[in-house]
Structure 1
Amino acid sequence: MRRDVPSMWRYAGMLAFRPVRLATAGEGYTPVVRLGPVLAKLETRNPTGSYADRASSALVSGLVRDVYRVSYSVDFGPSMAFYAGLVGAHTVVYARPEEIDPFDTVNLARLGASFDFTGRPELTYENQYTIEGLKTISYEIVEQMPRADRVFVPASTGLLTFAMRKGFREAAESAGASEPELVAVSVRGSAEPPTLDMLRGVKRVYVGAEEVTKAMVSLARKGIYARPLAAAAYSVAEAEEGIVVITGGLRRPGLSRRGSELRQKVIEVLARLGRDVTAYEVWEQLTGYTLRGVYKALEALEEEGVVCVNALLRGRRKVRTYRLCNIGKT
């Protein structure tokens, strides 16, 4: 393990493939924080707000293509478009028009992806690179919370649970780490996660729509915009001890005029400083704006491809730095 690398690539030597190149924006090494009675692994801190970034980073790093032809799934499509863009590649998303989240359509277009509604994709979310990328969540939990007894996992296809089980077992075999109980959480009435049938000893829990809505509201009031499935897992974790994996996705496009003005001022600060700086350092250069507002402006500019993000370690804390994408690279 490379302790000086504040991303999932600190575990590069523990993956089942060697990257041909490194497509990274600091994904992984996400924090475990306390939200009331719950310990939460905040995958919302990934570049596009989702654990899918681990899968996309692994795939684009391990499989070189000029064009990535991928099947549509929520979060994975925008994440793949983002990571392909980091290496100058293009993404074509294959989908039926009726299955695409309208906001994903906007985000995919903003990220330069194109759509194909008739052909067949080359890649799906269910692949070896996805598993290798997602299992690093388990490595991080072992490193951050070595005594964790139980982990609550959002379960749609069940692939995340499968990958995390693999990660925990590998950590147990290589480092003698204890293997926590995995609790796969689904929304009641949704399709059964097919991959879970391959796993023994995984507890399954189903949550109703009312509980999911209440959990989403609770998380939003804490400043965390979670996917419904992640909120379902959070609602279960509130009643039991353990760690819950929280994931989100790209933020919806904003309409605030004041937000647009702040983004322009942030660009001016970054251009003037001409180096990698933290959000706090940007905020120090401005008057009349909150630090939280600066963070939101930087997130929006990152999504638009105007601002590039790096990560570094200060002590044991992961710190994100920002710069204009056309500055500091030759």
Structure 2
Amino acid sequence: MATIDINLATRFLFATQIHFCCMYAVFIWDWITGILSEYRLIWKTKWTPVKALYLFTRYWVICIIPYVLWCYTVDHDQDTCNKIFRSPVALAMWNQVGSEAILTVRTYAFFGRNLYVLGVCLSMLGAIISYQLWALTTKMLPLPFLNGVSGPCLPMAILGQAHLLGFFVAPLCFDTIITVATLWKAVAMRRANGPSSHIIQVFLKNGIFYFLLISGANLLNGIFYFQPHAEMSAIMIPLSIILSPLLACRLILDIRQRAAGGSNNAYTSSEKGPALPVRIPRPFNASHTTSRNGGFELRSRPNESHVEAEQEQEDPDYKGVDPTGSYHSVRLPSSSPLNGIRVEVAKNVSVEYR
């Protein structure tokens, strides 16, 4: 049996406690600095599954981490620890569940609301929750105090079993599968639609960064559990249970901010002419009035996909991949000396009038 350096273990325990406090401070700072955006993009919107997930993930962490800090940073006697050592793990587990659920929603949306993808993701998430609850209730013991008298109430695995390791590695496996699948989809869409695809640009700017950071937080936690020095095994737990939900909440806010900021696009011109139908590859807001100064103008022509897009505006996080877009009309000059006019409406989409 390996011996533990008491002095080294004491220092790493103190570092872990400081790490918990610092990560909670970062979470509160992020919440305070983004409270106006949260009010505008979350609280003032209609109730949707994404809104519910955001509020749960954000405020669950704010409410339960003080109790976790009390368990992990305050010295308790053995009787107290025997009663409460499972409770902080049970509460903090749902921090990760919230962030994993948000990743599931984003993956579902990115795959065009594919129910098969949603079913697979929910099945994996359900399996992880079941395993964590089983390991929590049957495979954990209170960690002995370093001074033998009192100390923080930390859990430890049963000797010879690695279920505590699996408790934290399971979310890492989920994140890895989700991220790899999403990257594969992004590469496939890039090959099909080109690098200028609107969906690809939104994902690269607002999705992949958060996917990789959330996976990286769980990866670091897993690495520290795999390394041979037991004194260091818990030092990255705060990164996994606090940073992951922070990034998941920020992902929702950034995507909704981008959707809100990009909703006022319009194309105008200066001459009248015949109206031609054109397909726009993304939701487009155009005026229905006729220009008096001549030129061409865009007119919306609702179809099924356009109506669906309007409904999805209520919850931008549920937008799927709609390769067909919406129909609009473009009014081109009727008395042009040129043989033909080519109008670039959007990247990779054009209309010719002859």
TM-score, with length taken from structure 2: 0.21
Higher helix share: 2
Say which structure, 1 or 2, has more relative contact order (CA 8 Å, 6+ apart).
2
* Structure with the bigger percentage of strand: 1
TM-score, structure 1 normalization: 0.22
